[in-house]
Amino acid sequence: MKYVFLCQNTTYMHKSNFSDWTLDLIDEAFGTTQIDTSITLNNWLSCKYEPDAYDKKYLLLLQSKLVLGGDEWNEVELENKFISPVFMLADFDNRKFAYFLERDMKTTIGEYEISGRIDGMIATGFRNPKKPFFCMNEYKKQTNPDGDPKGQCLIAMMAAQEKNANNKPIYGCYVIGKVWCFIVLEGKEYAMSKFFKSDDEEIFDIFRILKGLKAIIEGFIQEDEARLQK
């Protein structure tokens, strides 16, 4: 991490990129804690949605391409050939919020100035992201020279939390090859799901969870709109 001098003999600002962070470093710097159970995460993972015939056919088509050549894909290919098509099928884009790719975020949390590029983000906004609800990072392999997938995802979620400045949870996900892990951050506590495998029947669970996220975000926006009308 870089250190930027702000005020003589008083304060130093720690300047870092998302890729600098691991879960251990985050916990030590910000006092966060990973918890074993989360009602918010459980409610998200247990959401109900039954894909129609078109959804099933398209998901199975994407899955067949992943199984055939996914082990040889690089991160750009994994994103473009599988992850983004699944998100687009879940239908997040509208005039109130959308799924944005490769967008930069920068914020200050305590003594740390944190910035970086988020692989995937769902946020309010039509052309550009404003208030983020969800952050996603994808990796080709478990080990990566550009950082730890869990830590990089969580620090992006913390940046989103700081940017929003409200008490709503932040949702997230990191993808390593064919496995997906979902995360919820509330205050200084975060919880992680089990791994969901996209190369078997759990692809339908992944899609169901994304559709559940869409419903959650719609609920948040309705709450904000109702509050503004009072």
Is 45 a member of any domain?
A: yes
Is 26 a member of any domain?
A: no
Is 11 a member of any domain?
A: no
The pLDDT assigned to 147 comes to: 63
Is 181 a member of any domain?
A: yes
Is 22 a member of any domain?
A: no
pLDDT tops 60 at residue 3: no
Is 12 a member of any domain?
A: no
Structure tokens at 12: 């130093």
Residue-wise pLDDT tens digits, 60-73: 999 999 999 999 99
| Number of other residues whose CB lies within 10 A of the CB of residue 16 | 19
The pLDDT assigned to 154 comes to: 97
Is 109 a member of any domain?
A: no
Residue-wise pLDDT tens digits, 107-123: 999 999 999 999 999 99
Q: How many residues does the chain have?
A: 230
pLDDT tops 70 at residue 1: no
State the average pLDDT over residues 15-21: 92
Q: Given the DSSP bridges, would you call strands 2-7 and 11-17 parallel, antiparallel or unpaired?
A: antiparallel
How far is residue 22's CA from residue 19's CA, in Å, rounded to a whole number?
Answer: 8
Is 76 a member of any domain?
A: yes
Residue-wise pLDDT tens digits, 130-189: 999 999 998 866 545 556 899 999 999 999 999 998 999 999 999 999 999 999 999 999
78 within 8 A of 177, measured Cβ to Cβ: yes
How far is residue 13's CA from residue 41's CA, in Å, rounded to a whole number?
Answer: 33
Structure tokens at 225: 């709109």
State the average pLDDT over residues 184-197: 98
| Number of other residues whose CB lies within 10 A of the CB of residue 153 | 30
- Give the residue numbers spanning the domain of 39: 33-102+117-229
State the average pLDDT over residues 38-66: 97
Q: What percent of the chain has pLDDT over 90?
A: 83
| Buried b / exposed e along 213-229 (16+ C-beta atoms within 10 A) | bbebbeebeeeeeeeee
The pLDDT assigned to 138 comes to: 86
Strand, coil or helix: 126: coil
The pLDDT assigned to 196 comes to: 98
Structural domains in the chain (count) = 1
pLDDT tops 90 at residue 83: yes
pLDDT band at 28 (very low <50, low <70, confident <90, very high): very high
The pLDDT assigned to 148 comes to: 86
Strand, coil or helix: 48: coil
Q: What percent of the chain has pLDDT over 70?
A: 91
pLDDT tops 70 at residue 54: yes
- Short-list 71, 159, 69, 147, CA closest to 107: 159
Partners of 99 in the beta sheet? 122
